[in-house]
């Protein structure tokens, strides 16, 4: 019974190695066959073709300050340019032009 298990393991290992080598060979042929990947459009994970700047107008939005790509989820925000105060909500914390970063909520500092 031990020898059968060993034989099965060797066969599975050989099969995995063979599958891997076939996949690698297929990749090598694709790259060396002269296909021009610059002409293949970039596709978003939702299946639509991305526009300039890797934008997808259907499942992404951009930060209005730094243009960082975000999801369209209503609670998603750019954590580079905004912070979330547990009392006052979102506040703008970073000025892209000057590099100034505010660490604390301006409304909390007033009180």
Over range 95-109, report the average pLDDT.
Answer: 83
Domain positions in the chain are 2-36, 52-110
% residues pLDDT > 90 (the chain)? 14
The reported pTM is: 0.49
Q: Is residue 67 over pLDDT 80? A: yes
Residue 65: C-alpha distances to residues 52, 70, 80, 86, 107 (Å): 18, 12, 10, 22, 21
H or E segment to which residue 81 belongs: none
How confident is the model over 5-24, as pLDDT tens digits? Answer: 444 444 444 444 555 455 55
């Amino acid at each position: 019974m031990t020898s059968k298990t060993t034989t099965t393991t060797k066969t599975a290992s050989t099969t995995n190695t063979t599958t891997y080598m076939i996949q690698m060979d297929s990749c090598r042929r694709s790259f060396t066959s002269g296909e021009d990947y610059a002409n293949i459009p970039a596709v978003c994970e939702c299946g639509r073709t991305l526009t300039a700047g890797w934008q997808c107008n259907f499942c992404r939005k951009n930060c209005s300050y730094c243009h960082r790509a975000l999801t369209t989820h209503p609670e998603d925000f750019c954590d580079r340019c905004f912070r979330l105060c547990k009392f006052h909500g979102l506040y703008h914390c970073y000025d892209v032009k000057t590099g100034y970063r505010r660490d604390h909520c301006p409304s909390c500092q007033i009180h």
